Structure 1
């Protein structure tokens, strides 16, 4: 049955709308891809004893999708295989039921788990090089990855070496008004909140706690200008690192999730793999 539009109090397509009863109705729901049981046989060639680790946060406007969906299961399996990396895929509480900063708190807690569990988790203990950790994400997940790195830097890094930050079609606001942000982050600093718009805070950008950053944008993405703005602001901030840009022509926002088999999706994945495998410089390690 279709919803009665007179009973909708807030509407944020393509993410969710809110009924007068408080019921949250999402436009897009995700499936659930459980972990493989039993696990796959050991890969051939085997995973190296000390391999980079990619700490990946999914996108979805802070309010949809999951680390357990087939969309991200497929993407990160491909990324792990091609980059010969170990991947920790971060799930987090979704807005609006869990307003911001819930997503940031959950991501940071997962990062601390990565460090705290490293002696006991066999995959991390046997294969992960915690001196080469890449924080990555797409869309809102890229925003969360950036903010997780900023907080980790401010709290000393707790022994993790942050080798790079990978931002795919990052969400850093859409301009002078952002209704979604105002709704899911009540009491925030508005559109210039440093979590939403770090480019308005040069000192924050200058203290980014890694040595390399890759920013991926798409020509027809409505967020393209914000990705380019992040790139320019980081270069001009006095940050002591190397920032790289990769743009895909003719494509919209997160096209690689919508059509993962297209040639441009393969090229984007290849560029991310090259970034992971081409550098080991670590700026922040405590």
Structure 2
């Protein structure tokens, strides 16, 4: 959409708002407006949606499945064709998208492209979950929805053709980027508390996880992240945390809880050198390491937050997929 038409829409919308007697309380340019009456307007001038496709010429087939018609939770599945042709069972990666808990969808073109590449280069089936977004649905709703997806897998694993024919449930992984990495951490904690068999969680993949704290971090003021601003971070937390909660709430700051109690599978934390959240990610890694957890960390040089979806031409994406292929393939069933 060109700038003129976008600006035209904004002017018309602004006039309607004045007529209704409401004003914009928060705005994420090109994506979202939150008004003083509590209403929310969503739009997407910056990112387009793409449909799933099972076309034979696609190297990775994809399809959408509704998991909870009451809440609208759904997921997009990705299956590499080479797994189908070989008749083999492949690891299952349960993926949660980013967007500060406020934005994003598995249908976004940037996520669809990355999921196709990740499925192909790690030879894995991926389930990319569409959870409900804030501020309409504040945390812990995203955690609830994503754990619902895990529960759905347990119950439907033998009734969905792709799952029953191609998924290796003894090799399941929780993964996510940014807010999705935060979600993956919290869902992993929940999975450790209940029986999720036949799913066996072999690893936790965190790509630039979206963590924070009430105390300011000096590095956040020094790093020039090309993909994430401090203002957006502040708005994300303002709109997503439970009403009245501060940033030392466990949803934002996992280190506000005793780390030794975390029951997690092996963890890999992928950090971007120019990420505004780099220090938060490093603190998380070091805390897990000090607590004796099975955790590794890799820093990707020269790139900012969520480069794998925001900078699709980055040469670092190949390094990332190779790392994840090694992590997944090395976690064989016991």
Q: Tell me the TM-score normalized by structure 2.
A: 0.75
Question: How far apart, in 2, do the equivalents of 1:85 and 1:64 lie?
Answer: 26
Q: 2:209 aligns to what SS in structure 1? A: coil
Residue correspondence of structure 1 range 1-286 to structure 2 within 5 A: 1-2=10-11, 7-11=23-27, 16-26=32-42, 28=44, 30-38=47-55, 43-44=81-82, 46-173=85-212, 175-176=214-215, 178=234, 180-187=236-243, 189-203=245-259, 206-210=261-265, 212-239=266-293, 242-280=294-332
How big is the alpha-carbon RMSD for the aligned residues of Structure 1 and Structure 2? 2.6
Question: How far apart, in 2, do the equivalents of 1:190 and 1:143 lie?
Answer: 16
Question: How far apart, in 1, do the equivalents of 2:169 and 2:57 lie?
Answer: 24
CA contact (8 A) 2:207 2:271 kept: yes
CA contact (8 A) 1:13 1:27 kept: no
CA contact (8 A) 2:96 2:184 kept: yes
TM superposition shift of 1:13: 6.1
Shift of the 44–216 alpha-carbon distance from structure 1 to 2, 3 Å rule, reads: closer
Q: 2:50 aligns to what SS in structure 1? A: coil
CA contact (8 A) 1:28 1:64 kept: no
Structure 1, unaligned runs of 5 or more: none
Shift of the 18–132 alpha-carbon distance from structure 1 to 2, 3 Å rule, reads: same
CA contact (8 A) 1:206 1:238 kept: no
Give the stretch that moved more between structures: 138-147 or 266-275: 266-275
CA contact (8 A) 2:213 2:253 kept: no
CA contact (8 A) 1:131 1:160 kept: yes
Question: How far apart, in 2, do the equivalents of 1:27 and 1:173 lie?
Answer: 27
TM superposition shift of 1:184: 2.2
CA contact (8 A) 1:18 1:24 kept: yes
Q: 2:267 aligns to what SS in structure 1? A: strand
Structure 2, unaligned runs of 5 or more: 1-9, 59-79, 217-233
Question: How far apart, in 2, do the equivalents of 1:83 and 1:268 lie?
Answer: 10
TM superposition shift of 1:127: 1.2
Q: Tell me the TM-score normalized by structure 1.
A: 0.87
TM superposition shift of 1:162: 0.6
CA contact (8 A) 1:162 1:209 kept: no
Question: How far apart, in 2, do the equivalents of 1:60 and 1:206 lie?
Answer: 28
Question: How far apart, in 1, do the equivalents of 2:273 and 2:256 lie?
Answer: 23
Q: 1:244 aligns to what SS in structure 2? A: strand
Q: 1:272 aligns to what SS in structure 2? A: helix
Q: Which has the larger radius of gyration?
A: 2
Q: 2:103 aligns to what SS in structure 1? A: coil
